[in-house]
């Protein structure tokens, strides 16, 4: 590529570079676009995340709206997963991880003293990059969450929840005759949909998805994208993805991160057709990342 | 890259490939050789032990007609239990032997004749009579165990071509036994005594039951104490404890404990459990406590390794649907770690089963005849019993030693089988 492009801050701190990450981040300037929405489901304000001494997220402001899919894109290592894991406090399991700033769910501080992370995770479900069904039966996989939270009154209730969740996740027809087989015996795509069913079964309010399709083939990906679109009716969804097409297909808003900084956020259409920030443009046109 | 370069690369790879294959072949050969060597040694060991131990599972019996007259017994016609216990059964046995061979007159010869029957035979007779006192005054036939030398002769362990002076089994004894054999009054039978009795000074009366029960009781205490404590410790350290200087110190100490020579645990047990807490000596409870101390670090270390090897994605998954930390551990992590924990446990228990040194320190080496029935009864354990029998000169104890080793190995295999079964039950793929 011989095009004249303005030199970009390099992702890895190579030895020749004199700049520290902090300086590069400072040079990125303010977030372009409107991170706020009316009546947000979740709201992130001035959040910094540190892994020991190393800062991974720099002063991010972002809202997640109801009945909306917001996609988070950006080069590898820019902190998308880190931010996502803050939203349901999965970062609590990493002892060196420290979060400052304000994260709200329905106006309540999720890092506040009164918030129970276990309850929070029941309200904010998560689907992981690698399908991770429990090594138990398909039925048990889905029934586990509701049973934990006591969402069912009896066995019939539980059966209903399981069947409905599997249906919503679009996998019921494939597994209805083998509910007692191990969840790990399914194909990768089926496993991921099973994980989605498991998340839905807890009837969360928000669903976080960290590259849910990265291990899947196009057909399975298409099924899951369809599913995400349907789920939007009832949930607020945040999805991390490396696929620009996927972001364009499933999300209404898109946030572009760079080195832990939220560079640009806005309507997906606008971001992909008419990005304002140079870095965003470079990234989505494939010149970078 | 030109075509020339490509060809060169291929050649280079090919030439190095041969060397690599040769290396692999050599490695495989050494591996196979090592396995063959160890299997051979194992086979030799097992075969010699079995060959030596097998005769101990049979015992020789002699048929005698016993006349229980009160005079010889030294009791009255209707003795009470105490008198029955103290009665002179030896005398009646001697009488019936003399009745079989009325020609024996000399004192020395009589003594030799009496030696045909085991010293312990009187207890068999005592048991029978005490169970049925109406036998007094009657005459009946009974099979009694023969003495150690006689047993050795029957088994062919005594070389009769040696001059009489050089052997314990004399010519006239040989004659008597041959006569008895002809009359079908000598028989080899399965050695129930070996499994029904505790230790004895007479090899033909010595049994494994005492030490087997001692081992069982001791190991039960060990398992019940060390398994839950070790698993709880491992879970706490691996899943809950903050990573700081204190947990580091604890970790280092646990690893050190695993390397402490076992006899030190014995000294510790003596000082703490017996001298300070005044627990009884030679008791399985103390043995179990000492062996638990020894087994704990082994199980803790393997349990931690097993917990660590559970994929983090499973923890994430469980946390993600809102399980609490404890639920994550008990619903998902622990079941997945169970096979590994069980492997560590069985290694620890096998070590404990074979341990002698610390038990010597707490007095489990005493000569104990009674079969222990509770945790505070004096007892000994299988390996100590083997050590004791191996030390004794009588021919019969040589067999008994090997037989006891066989019982120990059988115990070990049984424990392993249980562990394998449990592991199968827990094993799941992920
Ligand atoms: N457990 C951790 N300990 C220390 N540093 C971490 C940890 N997890 C992430 N980081 C660091 O935080 C930064 C952001 O990581 P993160 O996983 O959020 O990136 P990402 O945007 O999700 O990347 P990818 O697209 O490759 O998944 C990286 O520089 C990474 O090295
Ligand atoms: Mg990531």
Q: Where are the domains of chain B?
A: 3-54, 58-200, 209-426
pLDDT higher than 70, residue A280: yes
Average pLDDT over residues B274-301: 93
Confidence class of residue B427 from pLDDT cuts 50, 70 and 90?
confident
Residue ranges in chain A assigned as alpha helix (H): 21-28, 80-87, 117-123, 138-149, 155-168, 172-175, 188-201, 218-231, 244-250, 268-273, 278-284
Atom of ligand 1 nearest to the CA of A75: 25
* Res B1: pLDDT: 53
Read off the pTM: 0.82
* Domain annotation covers residue A51: yes
Neighbours of B375 (CB within 10 A): 18
Q: What's the rounded Cα separation, in Å, for the pair B338 and B229? A: 15
Nearest CA distance, B298 vs chain A (angstrom): 28
Query: Max CA-CA distance within chain B?
Result: 117
Atom of ligand 1 nearest to the CA of A94: 1
* Domain annotation covers residue A253: yes
Token match 């009255």: residue? Answer: B76
Going from the Cα of A54 to the center of ligand 1, the distance in angstroms, rounded, reads 11
Average pLDDT over residues B80-106: 86
Contacts of B181 (CB under 8 A, 6+ apart): none
Residue nearest ligand 1's atom 14 by CA: A79
* Neighbour-count burial of A20, counting CB atoms closer than 10 A to its CB (0-12 exposed, 13-18 middle, 19+ buried): exposed
Q: What's the rounded Cα separation, in Å, for the pair B400 and B386? A: 8
Contacts of B274 (CB under 8 A, 6+ apart): B280, B281, B286, B362, B363
Q: What's the rounded Cα separation, in Å, for the pair B344 and B46? A: 25
Number of structural domains found in chain A = 1
Q: What's the rounded Cα separation, in Å, for the pair B178 and B161? A: 16
- Report which of B294, B273, B292 is spatially closest to residue B363, judged by C-alpha positions: B273
All residues of chain B having their beta carbon less than 8 Å from the beta carbon of residue A195 are 317
Would the CB atoms of B320 and A182 count as touching at under 8 Å? no
Residue nearest ligand 1's atom 1 by CA: A94
Would the CB atoms of A202 and B323 count as touching at under 8 Å? no
Which of B243, B309, B310, B321 is the best mutation test for A, with the most CBs of A within 10 A?
A: B321
* Domain annotation covers residue A289: no
Going from the Cα of A81 to the center of ligand 1, the distance in angstroms, rounded, reads 7
Atom of ligand 1 nearest to the CA of A85: 18
Q: Which of B315, B316, B322 sits opposite A122 (nearest CB)?
A: B322
All residues of chain A having their beta carbon less than 8 Å from the beta carbon of residue B243 are 95
Cβ pairs A/B, distance under 8 A: 68
- Report which of A216, A208, A173, A168 is spatially closest to residue A191, judged by C-alpha positions: A216
- Report which of A198, A81, A68, A96 is spatially closest to residue A138, judged by C-alpha positions: A198
User: What CATH number did the domain enclosing A220 receive?
Assistant: 3.40.50.300
CB distance B74 to B114 below 8 Å: no
pLDDT higher than 50, residue B343: yes
- Report which of A14, A33, A32, A34 is spatially closest to residue A24, judged by C-alpha positions: A14
pLDDT higher than 50, residue A6: no
Confidence class of residue A5 from pLDDT cuts 50, 70 and 90?
very low
Would the CB atoms of B313 and A130 count as touching at under 8 Å? yes
Average pLDDT over residues B339-358: 92
Q: For chain B, what is the total number of helices (H) and then of strands (E)?
A: 19, 3
* Domain annotation covers residue A56: yes
Residue B6 structure tokens: 């490509």
Q: What's the rounded Cα separation, in Å, for the pair A254 and B168? A: 101
Which of B238, B313, B320, B429 is the best mutation test for A, with the most CBs of A within 10 A?
A: B320
C-alpha torsion angle, residues B223, B224, B227, B230 (rounded to 10):
-120
pLDDT higher than 60, residue B26: yes
Average predicted confidence (pLDDT) for chain B: 89
Q: In angstroms, how far is CA A46 from the centroid of its own chain? A: 19
* Res B428: pLDDT: 59
Q: For chain A, what is the total number of helices (H) and then of strands (E)?
A: 11, 10
In this prediction, the answer to ipTM > 0.90 reads: no
Of all residues in chain A, what percent carry a pLDDT higher than 70?
93
Contacts of B200 (CB under 8 A, 6+ apart): B120, B206, B207, B369
Domain extent at residue A166: 11-284
Residue B332 structure tokens: 């998902």
Q: What's the rounded Cα separation, in Å, for the pair B337 and B339? A: 6
Confidence class of residue B192 from pLDDT cuts 50, 70 and 90?
confident
* Res A31: pLDDT: 79
* Domain annotation covers residue A5: no
**Ligand 1 site-directed mutation target among A79, A96, A244, most atoms within 8 Å of CB:** A79
B298/B67: higher pLDDT: B298
Q: Which of A93, A184, A201 sits opposite B430 (nearest CB)?
A: A184
**Ligand 1 site-directed mutation target among A52, A53, A56, most atoms within 8 Å of CB:** A56
Would the CB atoms of B320 and A122 count as touching at under 8 Å? no
Q: What's the rounded Cα separation, in Å, for the pair A159 and A34? A: 43
* Res A277: pLDDT: 86
Average pLDDT over residues A222-246: 90
Average predicted confidence (pLDDT) for chain A: 86
Q: Compute CA distances A262 → A61, A83, B25, B103, B305, whole Å.
A: 8, 10, 57, 116, 40
The full length of chain A comes to 289
Q: What's the rounded Cα separation, in Å, for the pair B93 and A73? A: 99
- DSSP class of A147: H
Would the CB atoms of A128 and B331 count as touching at under 8 Å? no
pLDDT higher than 50, residue A15: no
* Domain annotation covers residue A2: no
Residue nearest ligand 1's atom 31 by CA: A77
Confidence class of residue A132 from pLDDT cuts 50, 70 and 90?
very high
Average pLDDT over residues A32-55: 89
* Domain annotation covers residue A218: yes
Starting at the edge strand that comes first in sequence, how are the strands of the sheet with A40-51 ordered?
A: A54-65, A40-51, A97-105, A108-109
Would the CB atoms of B318 and A134 count as touching at under 8 Å? yes
Residue B11 CB-half CA count within 13 A: 6
Contacts of A154 (CB under 8 A, 6+ apart): none
Q: Which of A132, A148, A182 sits opposite B327 (nearest CB)?
A: A148
Residue nearest ligand 1's atom 4 by CA: A51
pLDDT higher than 70, residue A288: no
Confidence class of residue B28 from pLDDT cuts 50, 70 and 90?
very high
* Res A13: pLDDT: 45
CB distance B59 to B189 below 8 Å: yes
Would the CB atoms of B322 and A133 count as touching at under 8 Å? no
Q: In angstroms, how far is CA B331 from the centroid of its own chain? A: 37
CB distance A182 to A212 below 8 Å: no
Lowest mean pLDDT among A27-31, A83-87, A132-136: A27-31
φ/ψ of A110, rounded to 5, equals -80, -15
CATH class of the domain whose range is B209-426: mainly alpha
Residues whose beta carbon lies within 6 Å of some atom of ligand 1: A 51, 56, 76-82, 94
């Amino acid at each position: 590529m011989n095009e004249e492009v303005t030199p970009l801050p390099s992702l890895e701190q190579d030895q020749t570079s004199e700049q520290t990450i902090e300086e590069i981040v400072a040079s990125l300037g303010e977030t372009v676009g409107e991170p706020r929405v009316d009546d947000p489901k979740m709201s992130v304000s001035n959040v910094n995340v540190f892994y020991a001494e190393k800062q991974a997220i720099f002063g991010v402001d972002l809202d997640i709206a109801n009945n909306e899919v917001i996609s988070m894109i950006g080069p590898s290592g820019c902190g998308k997963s880190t931010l996502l894991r803050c939203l349901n406090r999965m970062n609590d399991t990493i002892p060196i991880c420290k979060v400052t700033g304000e994260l709200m769910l329905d106006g309540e501080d999720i890092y506040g003293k009164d918030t129970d992370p276990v309850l929070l995770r029941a309200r904010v479900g998560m689907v992981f990059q690698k399908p991770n069904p429990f090594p138990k039966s398909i039925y048990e996989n889905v029934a586990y969450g509701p049973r934990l939270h006591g969402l069912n009154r009896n066995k019939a209730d539980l059966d209903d929840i399981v069947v409905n969740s599997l249906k919503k996740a679009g996998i019921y027809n494939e597994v209805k005759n083998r509910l007692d087989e191990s969840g790990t015996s399914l194909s990768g795509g089926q496993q991921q949909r099973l994980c989605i069913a498991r998340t839905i079964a807890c009837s969360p309010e928000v669903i976080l998805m960290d590259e849910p399709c990265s291990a899947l083939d196009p057909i399975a990906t298409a099924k899951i994208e369809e599913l995400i679109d349907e789920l939007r009716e009832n949930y607020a969804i945040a999805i991390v993805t490396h696929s620009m097409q996927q972001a364009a297909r499933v999300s209404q808003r898109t946030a572009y991160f760079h080195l832990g900084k939220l560079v640009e956020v806005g309507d997906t259409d606008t971001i992909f057709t008419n990005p304002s920030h140079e870095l965003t443009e470079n990234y989505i046109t494939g010149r970078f990342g | 890259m030109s075509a020339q370069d490509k060809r060169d690369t291929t050649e280079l790879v090919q030439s190095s490939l041969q060397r690599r294959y040769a290396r692999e072949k050599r490695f495989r050969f050494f591996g196979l050789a090592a396995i063959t060597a160890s299997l051979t040694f194992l086979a030799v060991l097992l075969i010699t032990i079995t060959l030596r131990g097998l005769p101990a599972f049979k015992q020789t019996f002699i048929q005698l007609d016993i006349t229980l007259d009160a005079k010889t017994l030294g009791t009255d016609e209707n003795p009470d239990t105490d008198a029955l216990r103290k009665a002179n059964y030896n005398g009646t046995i001697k009488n019936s032997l003399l009745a079989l061979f009325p020609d024996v007159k000399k004192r020395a010869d009589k003594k030799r004749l009496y030696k045909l029957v085991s010293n312990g035979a009187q207890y068999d007779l005592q048991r029978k009579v005490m169970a049925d006192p109406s036998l007094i005054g009657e005459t009946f036939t009974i099979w009694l165990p023969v003495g150690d030398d006689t047993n050795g002769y029957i088994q062919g362990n005594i070389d009769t071509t040696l001059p009489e002076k050089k052997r314990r089994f004399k010519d006239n004894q040989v004659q008597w036994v041959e006569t008895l054999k002809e009359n079908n009054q000598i028989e080899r039978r399965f050695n129930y005594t070996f499994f029904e009795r505790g230790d004895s000074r007479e090899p033909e009366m010595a049994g494994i039951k005492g030490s087997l029960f001692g081992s069982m009781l001791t190991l039960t205490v060990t398992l019940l104490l060390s398994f839950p404590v070790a698993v709880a410790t491992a879970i706490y350290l691996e899943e809950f404890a903050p990573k700081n200087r204190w947990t580091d110190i604890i970790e280092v100490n646990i690893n050190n404990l695993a390397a402490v020579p076992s006899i030190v645990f014995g000294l510790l047990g003596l000082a703490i459990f017996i001298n300070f807490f005044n627990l009884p000596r030679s008791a399985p409870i103390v043995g179990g406590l000492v062996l638990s101390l020894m087994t704990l670090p082994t199980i803790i270390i393997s349990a931690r390794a097993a917990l660590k090897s559970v994929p983090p994605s499973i923890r994430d998954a469980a946390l993600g649907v809102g399980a609490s930390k404890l639920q994550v551990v008990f619903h998902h992590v622990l079941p997945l770690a169970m096979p590994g924990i069980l492997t560590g446990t069985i290694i620890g228990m096998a070590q404990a089963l074979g341990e002698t040194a610390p038990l010597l320190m707490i007095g489990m080496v005493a000569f104990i005849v009674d079969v222990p029935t509770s945790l505070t009864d004096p007892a000994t354990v299988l390996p100590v019993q083997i050590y004791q029998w191996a030390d004794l000169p009588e021919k019969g104890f040589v067999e008994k030693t090997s037989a006891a080793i066989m019982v120990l190995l059988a115990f070990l295999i049984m424990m392993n089988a249980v562990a394998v079964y449990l592991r199968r039950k827990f094993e799941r793929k992920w």
